[in-house]
Structure 1
């Protein structure tokens, strides 16, 4: 269920961002570009937590 909501929200927010940016620069909204960006954002969101360390940081005294 966690992956579903990640895909859902990244799809919605990326399409919204693509629409707003294309409107600001005066070009047409491209659905294919938004879909490709949404897949890239979803993959990035799912990979970043796997890369980050989970262990607590040791307190070193100098």
Structure 2
């Protein structure tokens, strides 16, 4: 198993969260079903919170984006 650095972990996590945010937002814009749109919008907002947490950790460890 490969050994990970904190920078690698946080960069990977940030990339995934940003990709998920984009996919959920796009899906919310494209669906016609109001309930599904609401769920995708909710998921996108959750990802925004995760992105902030990861960015805060990156700042704590002095890791540039």
The higher radius of gyration belongs to 1
Same-fold call, TM cutoff 0.5: no
- The TM tier, using the shorter chain, reads 0.3 to 0.5
**Normalising to structure 2: TM-score of the pair?**
0.43
More helix, by proportion: 2
